[in-house]
Structure 1
C-alpha cells in the first residue's frame, strides 16, 4: 500500500488460469477458517443456512464456491454450525457434489432422496439456538433466499425450528466486506494492474488527438482486458470537459488538444474488484504543462479526499462520516460532492455507502456502521472555477481504492495528485 501513485506504472504479471485458481482457493480457505467463526460468534448466530440453484447463485454463495466450481450444482445448500464451547465450526454441504474439500459432504441421496428432509434432519440433530437465512429489506447482499427455497425448507422443518429463524443480513454483509491478510497482500497489485491500464489508455499509445474518439478508448479497454484474460465489471467510461462547453461530454467525440479527459474504469481479477477515476489533460501544441487552474482543481479534490479520510471512524455510520467530511470541506471553501462506497467481491460492495452523488444528506442505507478491515472506493469530486477557461465550473472527479484498518485509511496503490499529460505534437 502507498500514498503516492506512480505516474506510468508497469503492468504487473498476470497469473495463469491454473495459478489464479490455486490462489483463489487459498484465499477462500483462509476466509472460511477465520472470517466465518468470528462473525458468527460476534453476531450470536448458532447456524447459518445458505442455498442457491444452478445459474442463480445468491451473492454470498457465489463467493464460497471453489475455483473449479463456477456455479452451484443443481441445488447447493451450505450449513455453518457453531456447536459452542469453543469447538470448531462445522462446514457442511448438502448437495450431490462436493466443493473442493472445503465443506464436509452431509447428504447421501441414495439413503435420503429428499434434500429438504436431509437438511431438516441435520438441523434437528444439532438443535441450534437460532438459524440465520438470508432475507433482508435493506440490502441485496443479504436477501438471497428465494420464496420457493424458503417454502421448501420451512415445510420440512418442525415448527419449533421455524420459530428460530432469524435474518442473516448482517452475517452476509460482514462476510462480503471483510478482507483477510492474504487478500490484502494481493489487492494492491490488482489496483496497480488497473492503474497501469489507465496510464496506457491515457497516452499516445492509444490516443491521437484530433483522431481518436472517446468510444475508441472505451473499446480499447475492453479489447485489452480480453487479451489479458481479465474482465471489466462495468463498461468503461471516458468523457471530455472542454473550454466553452458546459458539463461533461459523454457522447462519442473526437479528443482534441486542450481537453480535460475523465475515465471511470474497473476490473475484476482474483475475485476482487477495482474502481478508479482519473483525469488527463491533452496538451495544446507548444504546451508542456496543464493550465494552472486545472492543476489547482485536482489539488482541491485531493483536499476533499483528505477530509474524508480523516473522518473515517470505526463504528461510525456512513452518514456520520459523510456529514463530518462535508462540513470540513465546506468550511475550507470547497464545493464537494462525496459518494464513496465499499469495494471487494463486488464493485459497489457490501457495507455502508458514504453519500450518493444525488444525495449528500445521508439516508437509511448509510446507517450501517463502518468496520475495520474493510476496503473502499474513495469516490468524490470538487467543483472548481478555472480562470483560464473564463471561470468555467469544472468537475474534478477522483476515485481511488483504499483499506481501512480501524485507525487509518491507506490507498492500495496511491492516488492521482497530478494530471496525466497527453502530448498532441
Structure 2
C-alpha cells in the first residue's frame, strides 16, 4: 500500500476539477474563536467529489492511525466483524465511500508483524473494499469463512487477538454473541487465552482527529452555523405566525435541498416571560420570546452539534433585555472554566468536577454535559457530565487525549430581572478541538444572542 497523502495534499488533490465552480476561489475556512453571525453558506461538494475526499482521508487514517493505536495498546492483531443490515460501529467508519455498508459478513483483520514493518490490512469477505484491504479469502479453496479467519490468525501467531467487546462503551461492543461463538469455535484452542477486548483500539480509532479532518471541520461547522442563521431569521420566522415545530421541519426541508443529513431531529423551543419551562411543538413564536435550537449535521463523515439562542425583538427594541444577555455571558464563562480544565490524561469525571467547582465558586449555576464528537454525534471517548448526572459516572472514567474533537455542551441558569426574576435556562453548545495543550473552537462560539425583528 503506497503512503497516504498528507492533509494538505488531499485537499490539493481534489483540484479545480473536483470542486464546484462556485468554490474555485474559496479559501479553506480556518478555526476561529469568533463566530460569524448568520455566515454565508460554504460550497457543498457533489457526491462524487465527497466520495473521493472521504476515501483519501480514510486511506490516510488507516495508514497512519492504525499502527499508532495498535502499538499504543500493545495489540498485534485486531479482528472486526460486521454483518449486512447489522453494522459494527468501527467497521462502518472503515468502509470506503462506494462500499457503504457491510455485505453478507464483512471481516477485517489488522496485523502488526512488529520490527517496524507495515501493518497488514486484510479483508476476509466476498467483496473487495476499495483497495484499502487486501482480499484474503478464496471461498473455492476454503468454503468456511471462519476457518479461513482461524488459519490466517494461526499462521501469524499473535500474542494478543483483540475483538470488539465492551460492557461500558457501545462503540467497542460490535462483536455479537453468535459471531463470537463461531469465531471461538474455529480458533485453535491453544489461542483462546490470547483473545482480549479491543475497547481501547475502538475508542482511539474513533476519537482521534487527523490534520486532514481538522482542515475540513471548520467548513463543516460553518455549514451548520449558516443553516442555523437562516432558521433564526425573518426568512423562516414570522413572529405571531410561525410555530416552533414549523422551524424544526424547515431544518429538515433545508437539509434535503442541500443534500445533507441530520444525525438527529432538530430541536426548537421557546422560553417566555411568565411561563415556566420550554414551550415546544405547535406553540406560536411571539415578540419577547427567547428561542433555543439544537441542530446537527453529518457531512464528509464528520458530525456537528450546536445549540444557539435567539431573541424576538418587541416593537421598539433594538437589543435583547440585559438580563438575557448576562445569562448567555454566564454560559460563556462556564465554557471557559470547562475548556481550561482540559488536560491530557485527566478523566472526564475529574474535568467535570474541576469545571463545576470553579464555576460555582464564581457564583454561577452550571450544568455540564459535554461529549466527544467526530464520526458520531455523541462520539467515542470519555463523557464530561450528563444533564441528569453532574457527578462521577463510569462513562467519564476514561482519559482525555490530544487530537480529539468535542461538543462543549452545557447550560447555566440565571434569574432575569426584566422577566420578574424568572429563572431562565441558557443552553449553549459549540464544537471544539483539543490539540493536547488548549481547546479551540472549530468555528467560534455564540457570545451574542441572535436578534429576530418583529416588525
Q: How far 1:148 moved relative to its partner?
A: 1.1
Describe the superposition over 1:345-385 as per-residue Cα deviations: whole angstroms up to 9, x where unpaired: 11000000000011111211100001000000000001011
1:377 and 2:428 equivalent?
no
Query: Among 105, 112, 123, which residue is 2:135 paired with?
Result: 105
The number of residue pairs the alignment matches comes to 425
In structure 2, the partner of 1:303 is 333
Q: Secondary structure at the match of 2:59?
A: helix
Aligned to 1:148: 178
| SS class of match (2:90) | helix
Counterpart position of 2:6: none
Equivalent residue in structure 1 for 2:207, among 177, 198, 202: 177
SS at match of 1:395: strand
Query: How far off its partner does 1:181 sit?
Result: 0.7
Q: 2:291 matched to 1:261?
A: yes
Corresponding residue SS for 1:79: strand
Q: In structure 1, how many angstroms separate the alpha carbons of the residues matched to 2:326 and 2:190?
A: 65
- Structure 1 length-normalised TM: 0.99
Matches within 5 A, 1:89-168: 89-168=119-198
User: CA-to-partner distance for each residue in 1:31-72, whole Å, 9 max, x for gaps?
Assistant: 000111000001000100001111111100000010001111
Q: Deviations over 1:211-236 (max 9, x none)?
A: 00000000000000011110110000
Q: CA deviation at 1:274?
A: 0.4
Cα-to-partner distance string for 1:156-197 (whole Å, 9 max, x where unaligned): 111111111000011001100000111000011000000000
> Who is 1:250 aligned against?
280
Give the whole-Å Cα distance in 2 for the aligned partners of 1:269 and 1:94: 29
TM-score calculated relative to the size of structure 2 = 0.93
Partner residue in 1 for 2:387: 357
Matched, 1:216 2:251: no
Q: How does 1:35-46 map to 2 (within 5 A)?
A: 35-46=65-76
Q: CA deviation at 1:252?
A: 2.0
CA distance in 2, matches of 1:59, 1:53: 11
Q: What root-mean-square deviation, in Å, do the aligned CA atoms of Structure 1 and Structure 2 show?
A: 0.6
Q: Find 1:240's aligned residue among 260, 266, 270.
A: 270
For residue 411 of structure 1, what is the aligned residue in structure 2?
441
C-alpha separation between the residues in 1 aligned to 2:339 and 2:314?
35
- 2:45 corresponds to which residue? 15
Matched residues in 2 for 1:417 and 1:323: separation? 24
Gaps of 5+ in 2: 1-30
1:393 maps to 423
8 Å contact 2:338–2:355 — kept in the other structure? Answer: yes
SS of alignment partner, residue 163 of structure 1: helix
Report deviation, 1:250. Answer: 2.3
Mapping for residues 17-32 of structure 1, pairs under 5 Å = 17-32=47-62
Work out the CA distance in 2 between the residues paired with 1:310 and 1:158: 50
Q: For 1:4 and 1:362, how far apart are their aligned partners in 2?
A: 32
Give distance in 1, aligned partners of 2:217 and 2:152.
38
Partner of 1:346: 376
Residue 75 of structure 1 aligns with which residue? 105
Alpha-carbon distance between aligned partners in 2 of 1:7 and 1:365, rounded to the nearest angstrom = 35
TM superposition shift of 1:126: 0.4
Displacement, 1:247?
1.2
For residues 223 and 434 of structure 2, the distance between their equivalents in structure 1, rounded to whole angstroms, comes to: 21
In the alignment, the residues of structure 2 paired with residue 277 and residue 356 of structure 1 have an alpha-carbon distance, to the nearest angstrom, of: 16
Where does residue 10 of structure 2 map in the other structure? none
Distance 1:157 1:248 in 2: 56
